């Protein structure tokens, strides 16, 4: 008798996990590429895709150290890489940074998952900005936690209100996530705001997890304030890596550095050491680029200054929005994204996912719908600022064409 076959079901843990940046739209874009269409991929911050190269000195550092990169390293990473992170932290004013409290990972993504896995029990809460970078929500859910969103409204320049954050704290709150400079909005938080968040974390003894992967990507005089310089009496985890500032996404090298109340966190840090050991180690060749990257000439400053490639691309986006009938923008002060709003009074039927699919199908431009970032509405979309300004100017012509089509449609009749 033949055995009845059953469909293989995925884990129920994935029920509420979304990552639409590489989801349905990206899969459709790949199908169109296979049909021969050229897709302008603005959905993800991938510098190498737009000709922004990793500094040559970093490539040479990897090549010269390849003979020492063939064995497993210590689970925390090679010492020169961890020591380079410590030196950067100390130069920024972080008092108790040590190499023993630095973990190297296969990008920041792996370390977000690892640090939350070591922290959370089922039902524990993590305070996450809304809109957020969706990996923070996904990693919280996958590790049994509950994401609790604190608002960063457009009306306040996408900045959080520390009092609103504190009002969300419960006995189950274990951590507060800060993304600064922010992805997806480009907001850069001021010192007073960050100080207030550090103080509330200290009052409630919750871990600060500060995602600072865009720390040197700043515009128009914005100041980056390292969160670790403000956290004295609670544990602070600072996340960064080579992917963005150093244009080395494919190297998959990130790190997390712990400071603040490390003396009260030894059991947690030991748990992370165990988790790091279980994956043996992170990519060793790429780690050899860290010391050269952090200690060498910081070319990102030129790219983000007037006349620099990223500065001019950002200007092209600001200009493109200003010339549109339908769009609005809080100009990004950092990172490599613009979170663009749509006037729903002029486009009352606008839906961010439907618009993104139409833009892809008709104009072969791929963007990320704003609702992908766990925000409260469906009237934004995110694009990266990485393409050259001429290409972005053309993109905005294509965007406007699709928005004009949406505006010309008769309104849908409501059914009883």
Check whether residue 398 and residue 311 sit in a common domain.
Answer: yes
> Among 277, 295, 313, where does a domain finish?
295
Same domain, yes or no: 77 and 200: yes
User: Is residue 7 one of the residues assigned to a domain?
Assistant: no
| 230 inside domain | yes
Residue 22 has pLDDT above 90, yes or no: no
Please name which of 77, 126, 68 lies closest in space to residue 99, comparing C-alpha atoms.
Answer: 77
Q: What is the pLDDT of residue 416?
A: 45
* Residue 243: C-alpha distances to residues 45, 165, 235 (Å): 9, 29, 25
Judge whether 244 lies within some domain. yes
Which strands make up the sheet holding 102-105, listed edge to edge?
Answer: 102-105, 254-260, 235-241, 207-211, 173-179, 125-130, 146-151
Q: What angle do CA 163, 191, 154 make, to 5 degrees?
A: 60
Quote the domain boundaries for residue 30: 13-52+301-408
Q: What is the CATH number of the domain that holds 190?
A: 3.40.640.10
pLDDT of 49 over the 80 cut:
yes
Q: Which residue has the higher pLDDT, 415 or 366?
A: 366
Q: Provide the pLDDT confidence category of residue 273 given band limits of 50, 70 and 90.
A: very high
State the pLDDT confidence band at 349, using cuts at 50, 70 and 90.
confident
How far apart CA 302 and CA 362 sit, in angstroms, is: 36
pLDDT score of 2: 59
Residue 210 and residue 271 in one domain = yes
When divided into structural domains, the chain yields a total of 2
Whether residue 275 is found in the same domain as residue 330: no
Q: Confirm whether 106 is domain-assigned.
A: yes
276/353 same-domain check: no
**63 and 41 in a common domain:** no
CATH code where residue 334 lies: 3.90.1150.10
Asked whether residue 168 is domain-assigned, the answer is: yes
Out of 295, 319, 348, pick the residue that ends a domain.
Answer: 295
Confidence of residue 291 (pLDDT cuts 50, 70, 90): very high
61 and 47 in a single domain? The answer is no
Kindly indicate the confidence band of residue 20, based on its pLDDT and cuts at 50, 70 and 90: low
Q: Are residues 214 and 363 in the same domain?
A: no
C-beta atoms surrounding 100 within 10 Å: 13
**Do residues 44 and 86 both lie within one domain?**
no
| Lowest mean pLDDT, pick from 157-166, 370-379, 388-397 | 370-379
> What confidence tens digit (pLDDT) does each residue in 92-128 have?
999 889 999 999 999 999 999 999 999 999 999 999 9
Report pTM.
Answer: 0.93
Residue 409 predicted with pLDDT over 90:
no
How does pLDDT run across 233-258, given as a tens digit for each residue?
A: 999 999 999 999 999 999 999 999 99
Q: Let me know if residue 2 belongs to a domain.
A: no
pLDDT at 415 over 70: no
Alpha carbon of 245 to those of 52, 254, 359: distances in Å?
A: 10, 12, 29
Q: What is the mean pLDDT of the chain?
A: 93
Task: Specify whether 338 is located in the same domain as 196.
Answer: no
Same domain for 115 and 180: yes
131 within some domain: yes
Quick one: tokens of 186? 């480009």
8 A C-beta contact, residue 391 and residue 40: yes
User: Which DSSP state fits 188?
Assistant: -
**Residue 16 pLDDT greater than 90, yes or no:** no
Residue 413 has pLDDT above 60, yes or no: no
Q: Which residue has the tokens 């990519």?
A: 283
Q: Is there a domain that residue 117 lies in?
A: yes
Query: How far is 353 from 355, CA to CA, in rounded Å?
Result: 5
* 8 confidence band (pLDDT: 50, 70, 90): confident
26 and 166 together in one domain: no
Domain end marker among 246, 271, 295:
295
Indicate if the pLDDT at residue 351 is higher than 70.
Answer: yes
29-45: average pLDDT? 93
Instruction: Write out pLDDT tens, residues 141-151.
Output: 999 999 999 99
């Amino acid at each position: 008798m033949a055995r009845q076959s059953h469909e293989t079901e995925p884990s129920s843990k994935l029920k509420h996990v979304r990552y639409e940046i590489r989801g349905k739209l990206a899969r459709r874009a790949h199908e169109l590429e296979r049909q021969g269409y050229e897709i302008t991929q603005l959905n993800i911050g991938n510098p190498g895709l737009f000709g922004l190269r990793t500094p040559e000195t970093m490539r040479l550092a990897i090549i010269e150290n390849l003979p020492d990169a063939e064995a497993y390293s210590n689970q925390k990473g090679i010492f020169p890489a961890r020591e380079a992170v410590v030196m950067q932290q100390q130069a920024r004013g972080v008092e108790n940074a040590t190499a023993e409290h630095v973990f190297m990972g296969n990008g920041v993504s792996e370390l977000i998952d690892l640090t939350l896995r070591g922290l959370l029990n089922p039902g524990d809460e993590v305070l996450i900005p809304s809109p957020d970078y969706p990996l923070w929500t996904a990693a919280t859910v996958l590790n049994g936690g509950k994401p609790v969103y604190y608002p960063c409204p457009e009306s306040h320049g996408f900045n959080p209100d520390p009092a609103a954050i504190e009002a969300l704290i419960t006995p189950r709150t274990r951590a507060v996530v800060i993304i600064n400079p922010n992805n997806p909005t480009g907001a850069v938080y001021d010192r007073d705001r960050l100080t207030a968040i550090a103080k509330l974390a200290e009052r409630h003894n919750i871990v600060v997890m500060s995602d600072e992967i865009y720390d040197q990507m700043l515009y128009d005089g914005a100041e980056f304030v390292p969160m670790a310089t403000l956290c004295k009496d609670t544990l602070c985890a600072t996340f960064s890596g080579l992917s963005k500032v150093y244009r080395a996404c494919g190297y998959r090298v990130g790190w997390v550095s712990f400071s603040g109340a490390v003396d009260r966190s030894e059991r947690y840090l030991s748990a992370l050491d165990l988790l790091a050991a279980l994956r043996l180690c992170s990519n060793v060749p790429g780690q050899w680029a860290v010391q050269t990257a952090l200690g060498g000439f910081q070319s990102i400053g030129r790219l983000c200054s007037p006349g620099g490639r990223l500065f001019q691309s950002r200007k092209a986006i600001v200009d493109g929005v200003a010339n549109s009938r339908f769009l609005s923008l809080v100009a990004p002060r950092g990172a490599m994204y613009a979170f663009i709003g749509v006037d729903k009074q002029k486009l009352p039927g606008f839906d961010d996912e439907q618009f993104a699919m139409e833009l892809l199908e008709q104009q072969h431009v791929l963007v990320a719908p704003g609702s992908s970032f766990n925000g409260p509405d469906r009237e934004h979309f995110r694009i990266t600022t990485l393409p050259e300004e001429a290409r972005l100017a053309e993109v905005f012509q294509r965007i406007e064409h699709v928005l004009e089509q949406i505006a010309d449609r008769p309104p849908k009749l409501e059914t009883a």
